[in-house]
Amino acid sequence: MGVALPPQVSRRWFRHTIPLAIFALLLFYLCGRSLRALSGCRLGTLPCIAEGPPPLQVLQESGSLEARDQEPRCLGPQGILGRMVRPFRASLNPEGDVELSQYLAGWRELIKLLTPLGSIFAFATSEAFTKVTALEARVHGPEAAHYTSLAAMVAWERRAGLLERPGIGPGDPANSGSRTMLLLHRALRWSQLCLHRVATGTLGGPGAGEQCSDAYNLALAPHHPWLVRQAVRLAFLSFPGRGHLLQLACPGTREAAARGAVVRAAGALEDVYNRTQCLLGEAGLLHLA
């Protein structure tokens, strides 16, 4: 005869015995096979901008969230958001391309921001670090001249046959820098949507975990099987609260200013995402992985 646990004990047991690391690993493994995105972007004008607004537009006018004349320290030279935003913005060159060295420097700072966010990001940051390191090896390796920017990399790898489908060309797309870039690109979108929703959530509304889970539902869930979607939904139960996330991103700052700073950081990520999306779409590489 079974013994029924009290509701509070049952819920506590359920939340703390979920193998979160496994769920997160499944999620980010499958990220490489997901996220169909718009590819009708053209480079007729610079900078490259996707046609129409993105699925979730970052607020550009955040005056209600932040005093414009008092920039929080977290956006300054030594702040975690500032250290992340500057290289990402610097990666957007005037020619409409994406400079890889700056892009990867921005990703390293983004990993530092995501690492303390709990088990749901444990394998995410590990996977991102591996991909950043792999792409950096190309940027600084023997063929460095061909890996200065996204467009240069794609052109070189196409000439080398690395972007052909398996069994068609001499190369293997799985070993290409373009494929690694695509996987980082998809992870960047989820990160951007998560930060944006946390920063703009209303008082008394959904918590940070639900906001970031919604970002997953918008960006990736339509491309995942039911079992993975359920695993991810459960994994988000351990996500830290909004206040904790804002303090990690902007320590020692009042909530309104921290929200405004995170909105601006998410806007920078969105700009990089949009241009990368455009370049990959024009090259026909949005489904390379």
The residues spanned by each domain of the chain are 65-282
Angle (nearest 5°) at CA 173 between 281 and 147: 70
* Both tokens assigned to 40: 């009708």
Highest mean pLDDT among 18-22, 156-160, 188-192, 199-203: 156-160
Separation CA 173–CA 235 (nearest Å): 31
With bands split at pLDDT 50, 70 and 90, how would you rate the model's confidence at 173? low
Residue 265 has pLDDT above 90, yes or no: yes
The per-residue pLDDT for 55 is 37
Nearest CA to 265 among 83, 136, 12? Answer: 83
Tokens 């997160």, residue located? 24
Residue-wise pLDDT tens digits, 269-282: 999 999 999 999 99
Q: How many residues does the chain have?
A: 289
CATH code of the domain made up of 65-282: 1.10.3520.10
Highest mean pLDDT among 30-39, 64-73, 193-202: 193-202
The CA-based diameter of the chain, rounded to the nearest angstrom, is 72
* Both tokens assigned to 125: 């940051």
* Mean pLDDT rounded to a whole number for the chain: 76
Q: How many CB atoms lie within 10 A of CB 276?
A: 24
Calculate mean pLDDT across residues 97-125: 84
Percent of the chain with pLDDT over 70: 67
Q: With beta carbons less than 8 A apart as the criterion, state whether 164 and 153 touch.
A: no
- Among 16-30, 207-221, 262-276, the minimum mean pLDDT is found in 16-30
Highest mean pLDDT among 15-19, 153-157, 168-172: 153-157
For 147, phi then psi, to 5°, come to -125, 35
With bands split at pLDDT 50, 70 and 90, how would you rate the model's confidence at 43? very low
Residue 104 has pLDDT above 90, yes or no: yes
Residue-wise pLDDT tens digits, 209-234: 788 878 777 776 775 678 867 877 77
The per-residue pLDDT for 153 is 97
Angle at which helices 208-219 and 242-249 pack, to 10 degrees? 80
Residue 149: helix, strand or coil by DSSP? strand
The per-residue pLDDT for 120 is 61
Residue 252 has pLDDT above 80, yes or no: yes
Q: Which residues contact 113 (CB under 8 A, 6 or more apart)?
A: 80, 81, 84, 248, 249
Q: How many CB atoms lie within 10 A of CB 151?
A: 18
Q: Which residue type occupies 83?
A: R
Tokens 């700073």, residue located? 261
Residue 79: helix, strand or coil by DSSP? coil
Angle at which helices 177-200 and 122-139 pack, to 10 degrees? 140
The per-residue pLDDT for 211 is 81
Angle (nearest 5°) at CA 256 between 251 and 262: 60
Calculate mean pLDDT across residues 77-95: 96
Tokens 């995105």, residue located? 37
